[in-house]
Amino acid sequence: MANAANLAKDAPIRMLITGFPGTAKTGALACLVNAGFKLRVLDYDGNYAPLLQFVDEDKLKNIDIVTLEDNIGFTGQFVGVKGAPTAFVRGVQLLDRWRYPDENGTEVDAKGVRWTDLGASKDWGPDTIVLLDGITGMGEASKARGMFMANKTPLNMTQGVWGLAMQEQMNFIKRLTNASVKHHVIAIAHMKMIGPKEIAQSDDAVTQAIKEARADLIPTRFHPSALGRELPPTIAGEFPIVVNIELKAKGNKVYRRFNVVPREDMDLKLPVKQIASLGELGPRSGLLTLFKALGANPPQQEKAA
């Protein structure tokens, strides 16, 4: 337990960024790196190029990216993961200790293998951000692991496998946002629209009545694209900050902006007293403005103070 004054002073950022592909979600973190933050990227989407494009050359050394993907190929029946999937577990392990084989690494083990070792994440502080990019790809890795453990394929997938994969995906998020973690956390997710379940011709009268009643209570809304239908609406509950980036058309021009105010079709939350004073936030500097408004000043400013 801790005094509220200390909790408020030392609280790290826990932020979820949602958006459709191409809205500059990953690239938006460049302004934080340029301001002096160290960035550790759990790369499940393989789309870090936009980030590197906008980071100052002298700050590139402060980014460490581990791409997490399973081997995809023809298995003899279908195209899918070949062999034992490892991407999901490797991501969890990196959250404990950021160490991986790297031909450019400075650490050499007894077998002559080079490693990069950035230490245990429990020792990182507010000068470091861990980025999960993104929840959608991590969920697919969780599903591949669940299918392998249960010896299932897309041809005989079961609800039990789905349930295991969804639980492990949520556990990953809970590990990422654990209260004991002192570094900042940002997770990125695509979006999908979820509403009441549709009535099927095979439904009996009772099932149809239940679905009709639920349709009056459950609105169709955008949620983070996680596994299944039940998990996406709960993901945002693990993050005290949820923002969205969208593309807007104005005349012949298209521009991107952050949404931070709750909408009828989307849950958003930003614990800032004077949200209107932030103005319109674009991806070039929007995250840095949000970090400052939330009390997370860049390391360069902290040193200057």
DSSP string over 5-54: HHHHHHPPPEEEEE--TTS-TTGGGHHHHHTT-EEEEEESS---HHHHHH
Mean pLDDT of 90-118: 92
Q: Is residue 209 part of a domain?
A: yes
pLDDT, residue 154, reads: 83
Six token digits for residue 69: 């993907």
Which range has the worst mean pLDDT, 12-21, 146-155, 175-184, 283-292?
Answer: 146-155
Q: Is residue 86 part of a domain?
A: yes
Q: Is residue 1 part of a domain?
A: no
Mean pLDDT of 90-97: 96
pLDDT, residue 6, reads: 52
Statement: residue 165 has pLDDT above 70: yes
Q: Containing domain of residue 296, as a range?
A: 11-304
Q: Is residue 68 part of a domain?
A: yes
Q: What share of the chain has pLDDT > 90, as a percent?
A: 60
Mean pLDDT of 236-249: 92
Half-sphere exposure of 83 (CA within 13 A, CB side): 7
Q: In this predicted model, what pLDDT tens digit does every residue of 188-227 receive, in sequence order?
A: 999 988 866 666 666 666 665 655 555 555 567 889 999 9
The amino acid that residue 202 corresponds to is S
Mean pLDDT of 125-143: 95
User: Within a 10 A sphere around the Cβ of 93, how many other Cβ atoms?
Assistant: 13
- pTM summary value: 0.88
Q: Is residue 6 part of a domain?
A: no
Q: Is residue 256 part of a domain?
A: yes
Helix H, strand E, coil C: the string for the chain is CCCHHHHHHHCCCEEEEECCCCCCCCHHHHHHHHCCCEEEEEECCCCCHHHHHHCCHHHHHHEEEEECCCCEEECCCCEEECCCCCHHHHHHHHHHEEEEECCCCCEECCCCCEEEEEEEHHHCCCCEEEEEECHHHHHHHHHHHHHHHCCCCCCCCCHHHHHHHHHHHHHHHHHHCCCCCCCEEEEEECEEEECCCCCCCCCCHHHHHHHHHHHHHCCCEEEECCCCCCCHHHHHHHCCEEEEEEEEEECCEEEEEEECCCECCECCECCCCCHHHHCCCCCCCHHHHHHHHCCCCCHHHHHHC
185 neighbors 174 (Cβ within 8 angstroms) = no
Q: Is residue 208 part of a domain?
A: yes
229 neighbors 167 (Cβ within 8 angstroms) = no
- The number of folded domains in the chain is 1
Q: Is residue 4 part of a domain?
A: no
pLDDT, residue 138, reads: 96
Q: Which residues pair with 246 in a beta bridge?
A: 257
